[in-house]
Structure 1
Amino acid sequence: MGRDLSALFDPVSVAVVGASDDPAKYGHAIAAQAVRADGRRPVHLVNRRGGTVLGRTVAPSLSAIGEPVDLAVVSVPAAGFEDAVDEALRCGARAIVAITAGFAETGDAGRIRQQAVAERVRAAGAVMVGPNCLGIADNTTDLFLASDTFTPGAVALLSQSGNLALELQLRFRPHGLGFSRFVSLGNQADVTLVDLLADCARHEGTRAIAVYAEDFGDGRAFAEAAADAGKPVVLLTAGRGDASARSAQSHTGALTTSADVVTAACRDAGVELVATPRELTVAVAALSGARRASGRRVAVLTDGGGHGVVAADAVEAAGLTVPELHEPTRQRLREALWEQSAVANPVDLAGMGEQDPASYAETIAALLAAEEVDAVLMTGYFGGYAAAEGGLGGGGKALADGEKEAARLIAARHRATAKPLVVQSMYPESPSCRTLAAAGIPVFAATEDSARALAATAPAAQRTGVTPLPVPASPLRESGYMETRRALEEAGLSFPAAREIHDETELLAAAEEFTGPYVLKALHLLHKSDAGGVVLGLAGPDELLAAFREMHARLGASSYSVEAMADLTDGIELIVGVNRDPRFGPVAMVGLGGVLAEALHDVAFTLAPVPAERAVSLLRGLRTAALLDGVRANRPSTSKRPRRPSRRSPRSAPPTRRSPRSRSTPFSYARRSTRPRLPRRTRVTHPSPHAEPPT
């Protein structure tokens, strides 16, 4: 069910502690907004000096009000913050909005103070937003406790930046978008992003949830809440680079998370991840309505060849397709258009719009009705006739009126179908385009924005949900290389034979147990290959012994591993890794391995645990996935796999040392070799020479 935040968004009464007549103080801005809803609920202003604020008599303290206070906004200097919160709790406050700064964002001492206040709030059965926040607003309950006014609408904005909220308000306006709620997250000492996300998912006045976050708190809980929201969630996050991570830390005391992990969590949970406020606006404009494409096939309609080609490229760059239209659809288009019109896809009116503006609507109707089309993008000059009224285009009032009528017909066609329609226009503010926007058709000035909007409505190719974490296993008593191998074998993974040895006698005994070629690894070294502690392809006991003597003389390791080397003659080497992210928990990685791992960096991430079907989906999503099916001379073999050479018939290839691997990834990983066909079960050959114990 989640936490009860009713006192936060629809309180019985409100008090602003720190209300001021000084326009330079935040208490003035909050008080001015709060009194706008004085008719909805009692609003009390509190200032320890008494007197008046905004022409209203103020109370010198919360206790002096003489009646319970349901929600208290605290905007006082940090030195008086704890006393103000404690008084609010004594006066019965069920919710606190803490504007005051100077806590976790300042360092450890501030974090300790913040934690102590949050514990007292929770012990009293109350909730607190902040501290170090900019307030909240709920347009559905006339609650105005932020410094600015937010246009009413159906988008809930949960943000760790006030300025970004103001920018989004400006960007939303041309699309007819507004806010159901606004919450400045602050330091999330008590009420978290996850709490707010879950509450907005239940809120009837919210159709879409926009998030700007620098700190997810419990990232896995965020992903789970977003996956269960039942409403579009669009996320703009920070900390992808070193500079932004430093800024986030100084801004809200936030702990940012690896961009790869955030991207994987968003994909798994179905969250629309964006990089800029402009892109967030595009995604929200596309998702705030109820229309979703059933596939990724887009028909492009243009009134000029250049716009059509550019739009088609933008659509494909956004991960969608622009397929050729089927013959029945082409025939319908030929009957509606003239001979020079192109009807394959993109569909080009080729001047027909100037002869008959209604041709726009007829073409849109045909494309929306086509079975081979999941969504439609109209791009180009539409809107220009009504905007110019006979100037540009030269058609005069008749063309302008015809275009306006076409816009009304397009809106009617749009209402009759569930397929998304997005428009790019050179004149997005024209009367015709405003008619489309009023009908719920997103209109953009930029081609890339229209393509991105369609991508947001398309089904997520790899959305899998978030698999619940299993009951924790018993911790490993030993976490060395051989112990980790045994733990993985007990979990069902198979490895080539291996023996831990300490001297030449044990080495030769191991060589008698299984045939070569062999692998020799120096154990108990953090980065084995960097130190030259791995040698591959040792054909027989003599080569194995020589390699051991050289390695031991150089490294002097306490023990070594002698292993049978896997046969990779018709396999593809993969890299598989796991890590425990401080915010998102267990994360898995898979990608192309071997010497190409660093060169191509073709890897994919997902929240663990990973079901088999998701693992296959990740592999299929790699840029180099075609290699798994075999390419040209490396097609999967249909003959029996050759036996591994024995000591009596050693391979002629000389022993090979592993090349050093980049240490930039924190993932512990193992190499896997798989025959090219998928989804056949893969077989673990041997752990990477760099693999650390699983975390």
Structure 2
Amino acid sequence: MTITIGNINTSSSTVGNLDALFAPNAVAIIGASDDTRKYGNWIAVQALKGDRPVHLINRTRATVLGRAAAPSVVSVGSQVDLAVIAVPVSGFEEAVDDALAAGARAIVGISAGLGEAGEEGRRLEQRITAKVRAAGARMLGPNCLGVLDHSSGLTLASNEFPVGNIGVISQSGNLALELATLLVDHGMGVSRFASLGNQADLDAADLVDAYATHEGTAAIAVYCEDFRDGRRFARAAARAAAAGKPVVLLTVGATDASVRNAKSHTGAMVSSGIVVEAACRAAKIEQVSSPAQMAHLLQALVRSKVPRGARTAVFADGGGQASVASDSAAAQGLDVVEFPPALQAAVAAELPPTAAVSNPVDVAGGGEQDIMCFARVLDHLTGSADVDATLMSGYFGGYGSYGPELAAREIDAAREMAGSTRAGGGTVVVQTMNWQSAAADTLRDGGIPVYRGIEEAAWALGRLVRRHTEPATGVPELPRPADPLTDTGYYASRRLLSGAGIPFVPAVEVSSKEQLLAAAAGLKFPLVLKALGDEHKSDRGGVILGLQDANSLLAAWHDVQNRLAPPSCSLEEMADLTGAVELLVGVRRDRSFGPIVLVGLGGVFAEILRDVRCALGPVSSAQARDLLLSLRGAALLTGARGRPPVDVDAAADVVARLSELAAAHPEISEIECNPVAATPDRAIALDARIVLD
């Protein structure tokens, strides 16, 4: 079955059925051990806690953990869907052969020392993976920490995980364990866990697809360092989001180390971090920077709903907390709007005369007088057409300490708040200093996220709002490859780009004084002389502007020849840059995510200003326009401080055409036009550079 959502192909699965991995009929632990220092012991102990048949495999021992052990999976004599292999690398291939011969349809490779251990290990891993696939089986790992699925009672990991509805996919065992601990703080837990390991067969995209159709999973948490096919991962995440299972991603690598070999401005400014950000925007993946942020956001995603806008009511039971919450909300881009008179009057009718009701709301002691006022005020806020979301802050959850009667009433209030919010479809996020109280638990159980700190609560609400205000742009499909390029010289590049519809000023390549003068006769002064064969020609005085006549042209020619001795020069008409803004437009091919489109303020200051935005390519003209207008310096394009606005549509057309060209040529590593001059009536490329892979 295939469904189309925007430009996202939502095939029901790209990996096939993984029931053998997550819900096997029986399990074999190859390398099961009594030695408490070994994974074979840890995983066997966990496996035996479940109800399904577990076969302990050990070639040299008749019993393990007080149970009968078999020398091989084949000798078990019955169908075993899943084999977990925890033996030294020297015995890994033999163990895989045994499992496949016994009919295993899934393998979990705990063993290390394969693809991560050098060329010999990579070759061994590739050979084993080919065997697994040829047998119609699938393999998780190797060099992984196991798998579990609480909905099927499968526990094949070295550690226990709390039960819940968050699917976890991780390349780090410790990070997965840390996340599980943080989820417990929020009253949450894990539905499935899979350790990626080397991703020799199953990768992050495969597992996201499998989780997206898992009934017990409400959201998917991914820690991944190597995406393999990044676009496939992004499409899988988009399918999961379309199925109501948002993906939250933690990754690493936002450093210059990944671009040390870049030869152009484009390559130097597109780090792996920027690439992943572009993929996340395309697929509506929620990227975070720590396990704590991941837990905070997961709580909001599974317990609350995406609001229709940013108009936020702040509701507190203290003036100081109301003010701090308002500032925290504003810092996240939330709009703490003043309530209209009718809403103010409705809120005031529920509270003491000293209460603040214009937004933020301060109950001013109303909680002690009538704890149910929280429920009534919240009902007014969530039911108002003038409020998109409510951020509640303060002491709620602590009133029960004043006596048993108030404690019971506080829980009643929490239950009513959660019920009315759920029934009305409102968005409510709560911060309370009493975040581990019975009332707070009642709110969580009823579907309202509760946080300890106001910064965390406001941040989570801001991320919910952005899911509405910043919709996914979609993961673009790549075109069929064109005939590969071989000549990437300046003029060959210009011809290629001109053929793609990107405008340039008239120009002629010259290599002698005679050619220079002949070319000048056919061009319009003033002219520009560029020394070719030097990617940083402007830094070395290889670009001479404003040549008004033949004498100044000859003087410039002799100067360039004496200083730089270029193989040839480009003689070009000088574009009228009155009112122009110089832009950098480029595409870099990422090994995992493919062509990445970059736009930014350009010219000689491109690497200094580093005002850039990226997207997965190719992009449409409309998407390119959005990228340009999202730059920090976008006001220069739209007319800042009396400047005339430039033709943004023409500039966007250049971006789109360059992205389409680059996407059709997978042999291009980097391509850029720097600068592109955007003027009030056009956009024209003033330079071009192509680097082949």
Same topology, TM > 0.5: yes
Structure 1, residues 284-329: CA drift from partner, whole Å, max 9, x if none?
Answer: 1111246221222222112223222322222233233322323332
State yes or no: 1:313 paired with 2:327.
Answer: yes
In structure 1, what is the equivalent of residue 599 of structure 2?
A: 590
Deviates more, 1:142-151 or 1:71-80: 142-151
In 1: Cα distance, 2:317 partner to 2:155 partner: 46
- Mapping for residues 190-589 of structure 1, pairs under 5 Å: 190-229=201-240, 230=242, 231-241=245-255, 258-289=272-303, 291-386=305-400, 389-390=401-402, 396-397=403-404, 399-458=406-465, 459-461=468-470, 463-589=472-598
How many pairs does the alignment contain?
A: 645
Structure 1, residues 584-641: CA drift from partner, whole Å, max 9, x if none?
Answer: 0000011122354333321101000011111111122222222221122314499xxx
Partner amino acid, structure 1, of 2:310: R
Partner amino acid, structure 2, of 1:8: L
Partner amino acid, structure 1, of 2:48: V
Question: Any conservation in 2 of the 1:257–1:583 contact (CA below 8 Å)?
Answer: no
Question: Any conservation in 1 of the 2:173–2:195 contact (CA below 8 Å)?
Answer: yes
Secondary structure of the 2:424 match is coil
Partner amino acid, structure 2, of 1:674: A
Question: Any conservation in 1 of the 2:671–2:691 contact (CA below 8 Å)?
Answer: no
- The 3 A distance-change label for structure 1 pair 636 and 584 is closer
Deviates more, 1:496-505 or 1:405-414: 405-414
State yes or no: 1:671 paired with 2:651.
Answer: no
Structure 1, residues 332-386: CA drift from partner, whole Å, max 9, x if none?
Answer: 2233333432233222223333333222222211211222322111011112212
Deviates more, 1:177-186 or 1:361-370: 361-370
1:18 to 27, 31, 36: 31
Question: Any conservation in 1 of the 2:304–2:447 contact (CA below 8 Å)?
Answer: no
In structure 1, what is the equivalent of residue 656 of structure 2?
A: none
In 2: Cα distance, 1:211 partner to 1:538 partner: 58
Question: Any conservation in 2 of the 1:579–1:694 contact (CA below 8 Å)?
Answer: no
- The 3 A distance-change label for structure 1 pair 310 and 516 is farther
Partner amino acid, structure 2, of 1:380: G
TM-score of the superposition, structure 1-length normalised?
Answer: 0.89
Question: Any conservation in 2 of the 1:574–1:673 contact (CA below 8 Å)?
Answer: yes
Deviation (angstroms), 1:277? 0.4
- The 3 A distance-change label for structure 1 pair 666 and 297 is farther
Deviation (angstroms), 1:532? 2.5
List alignment gaps of at least 5 residues for structure 2. Answer: 1-12, 260-269, 648-668
Deviation (angstroms), 1:218? 0.7
List alignment gaps of at least 5 residues for structure 1. Answer: 246-255, 391-395, 639-664
Question: Any conservation in 1 of the 2:603–2:674 contact (CA below 8 Å)?
Answer: no
In 1: Cα distance, 2:548 partner to 2:338 partner: 56
Deviation (angstroms), 1:669? 4.1
In 1: Cα distance, 2:609 partner to 2:645 partner: 23
In 2: Cα distance, 1:415 partner to 1:227 partner: 26
Deviation (angstroms), 1:694? 7.1
Partner amino acid, structure 2, of 1:65: V
- The 3 A distance-change label for structure 1 pair 223 and 180 is same
Deviation (angstroms), 1:418? 1.7
In structure 1, what is the equivalent of residue 134 of structure 2?
A: 123
Structure 1, residues 181-237: CA drift from partner, whole Å, max 9, x if none?
Answer: 100000000111111111111222211111000111111111111112222000011
Secondary structure of the 1:200 match is helix
Partner amino acid, structure 2, of 1:334: A
In structure 1, what is the equivalent of residue 111 of structure 2?
A: 100
Secondary structure of the 1:336 match is coil
Secondary structure of the 1:210 match is strand
Partner amino acid, structure 2, of 1:151: P
1:2 to 1, 9, 14: 14
In structure 1, what is the equivalent of residue 41 of structure 2?
A: 28
In structure 2, what is the equivalent of residue 686 of structure 1?
A: 686
In 2: Cα distance, 1:173 partner to 1:358 partner: 29
Deviates more, 1:349-358 or 1:199-208: 349-358
Question: Any conservation in 1 of the 2:670–2:691 contact (CA below 8 Å)?
Answer: no
- Mapping for residues 47-86 of structure 1, pairs under 5 Å: 47-86=58-97
In 2: Cα distance, 1:30 partner to 1:399 partner: 48
In 2: Cα distance, 1:191 partner to 1:414 partner: 41
Partner amino acid, structure 2, of 1:447: I
In 2: Cα distance, 1:594 partner to 1:339 partner: 62
Question: Any conservation in 1 of the 2:258–2:271 contact (CA below 8 Å)?
Answer: no
Partner amino acid, structure 1, of 2:529: L
Secondary structure of the 1:500 match is strand
Cα RMSD for the two superposed structures: 2.3
In 2: Cα distance, 1:332 partner to 1:542 partner: 82
In 1: Cα distance, 2:548 partner to 2:311 partner: 54
In structure 2, what is the equivalent of residue 648 of structure 1?
A: none
In 2: Cα distance, 1:567 partner to 1:582 partner: 39
Question: Any conservation in 2 of the 1:669–1:692 contact (CA below 8 Å)?
Answer: no
Question: Any conservation in 1 of the 2:670–2:692 contact (CA below 8 Å)?
Answer: no
In 2: Cα distance, 1:228 partner to 1:161 partner: 24
Secondary structure of the 2:359 match is coil
Question: Any conservation in 2 of the 1:287–1:456 contact (CA below 8 Å)?
Answer: no
Question: Any conservation in 2 of the 1:526–1:692 contact (CA below 8 Å)?
Answer: no
Question: Any conservation in 1 of the 2:547–2:553 contact (CA below 8 Å)?
Answer: yes
